[in-house]
Amino acid sequence: MAGYREDARLSVMINEEDHLRIQGYGLAGGLSLAWAHAKGCERLLDEHLSFAFNEQLGYLTACPTNVGTGIRLSLMLHLPGISLIGGMDRMQHAADDLNLEMRGTSGEGSEAIGHLHQISNRRTLGVDEEDLLHFLEDDFLSRVVREERRARDTLLSTRREFLDDRVQRALAMLRHARLLGEREALDLLSELRLGIAAGLLTGVPLETAGQLMQRVRSGHLTRATGCTEEEPLRIQRADLVRRELGGDSPPSEST
């Protein structure tokens, strides 16, 4: 069971792994805001509930790795440049050295789809919340942004035709596809977004590509359309993308 705020910036999962899991969300660069949402909710609940707390260990949780502060700060990063130059292994090693966990798009045990990688802290025991927030948002994130920009510059200077070809192919498929699975749509939109940001493509706003990467997810699409079956969802997803990117319309039926 879950409850969520109307603006989708806060949700509370009930009786999942733990009795309560409070989740705050922020847009780009909004980790502090997401933390403020979650912290405010925790303080409100603390006035009415008794949390399991040990003076030496901190908050007690179902999973031992969450014992302590119980805080898991996560960044969802779009890293197509690093991925395309083959730099993700180096990024993984850097995260390991900093005691950070790299996960796929949907969290633990998932793959990175659309070059979206989730990075979060491993330890919660003996960690100061504010220090962790500062490290992830101000230190680590700025390093990753520099690496991604460097990777994109490398692609533009040494493999421009390769990159341009991928971007134009992605745009063509997105504008004309009649069926789109979630993974395929995210992978294509990722490369489209990269092409726009790199200046290889005009006429499509960067914001549109970014919003579509959310709107084509099955959960978002089901909420918007009421559709739950896979095949109709693939049709709805392709229709949405064509409409937003100025693609062609399906031929009308005639009798």
**CA-to-CA dists, residue 123 to 24, 97, 130, 161, 229, angstroms:** 19, 13, 14, 43, 39
Q: Please say if the pLDDT value at position 194 is more than 70.
A: yes
Average pLDDT over residues 160-175: 98
Q: Please say if the pLDDT value at position 83 is more than 80.
A: yes
pTM given for the model: 0.86
Residues 6 or more apart whose CB falls under 8 angstroms from that of 161 comprise: none
Confidence of residue 255 (pLDDT cuts 50, 70, 90): very low
Q: Please say if the pLDDT value at position 254 is more than 60.
A: no
Helices (H) and strands (E) in the chain, counts: 10, 8
92-134, pLDDT tens digit by residue? 999 999 999 998 877 777 789 999 999 999 888 888 889 999 9
The domain locations on the chain are: 1-51, 73-158, 160-245
Q: Please say if the pLDDT value at position 139 is more than 60.
A: yes
